[in-house]
């Protein structure tokens, strides 16, 4: 994984991890394979271990809540290190990787991925370009 795709800020890493957990939980369970992949993706992106047990105890992150926090911390004079679109791409790509650990993307997971990406300012075409696995849920929206 390239260095530029790492999330270096601790607060941003926590939000990213909470977004992945929120997506994985939308079908009411995180299977063993998903849990292992989830921990792997979080560790790889953040360069640190954020215990999955701790993340599961937190309130689920809402896409609008993430967008509000990111919007308040980024901009030309606010010192944000990652553009919201870049964060959305990491969330989409990694969430797809996590949910595919069980073999498929459920409708609820796909809808959650779309909500997070669009809340961070991505268009439907941009989400589709991030992963072909999203095509079944996005084709009618284009």
Task: Check the CA dihedral 125-129-132-133 and report its sign.
Answer: negative
| Enclosing domain of residue 67 | 3-141
Q: Is the pTM of this model over 0.95?
A: no
Number of structural domains the chain divides into: 1
User: pLDDT by residue (tens digit) across 22-77?
Assistant: 999 998 888 899 999 999 999 999 998 899 999 999 988 999 999 999 887 544 43
pLDDT bin (cut points 50, 70, 90) of residue 19 is very high
CATH number at residue 18: 1.10.3680
pLDDT at 120 over 80: yes
**Cα separation, 55 vs 61, whole angstroms:** 10
Which positions ≥6 away from 134 have C-beta within 8 Å?
A: 92, 96, 105, 110, 113, 114, 127, 128
Q: Mean pLDDT across the stretch 89-96?
A: 95
């Amino acid at each position: 994984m390239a260095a530029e795709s790492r999330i270096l800020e601790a607060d941003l890493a926590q939000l990213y991890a909470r977004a992945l957990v929120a997506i994985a939980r939308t079908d009411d369970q995180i299977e063993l394979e998903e849990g292992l992949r989830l921990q792997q993706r979080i560790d790889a992106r953040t360069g640190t271990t954020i215990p999955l047990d701790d993340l599961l105890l937190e309130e689920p992150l809402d896409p609008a809540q993430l967008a509000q926090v990111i919007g308040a911390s980024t901009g030309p004079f606010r010192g944000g290190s990652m553009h919201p679109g870049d964060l959305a791409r990491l969330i989409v790509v990694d969430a797809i990787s996590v949910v595919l650990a069980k073999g498929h993307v459920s409708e609820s997971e796909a809808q959650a991925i779309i909500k997070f990406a669009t809340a961070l300012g991505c268009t439907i075409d941009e989400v589709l370009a991030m992963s072909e696995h999203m095509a079944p849920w996005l084709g009618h929206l284009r």
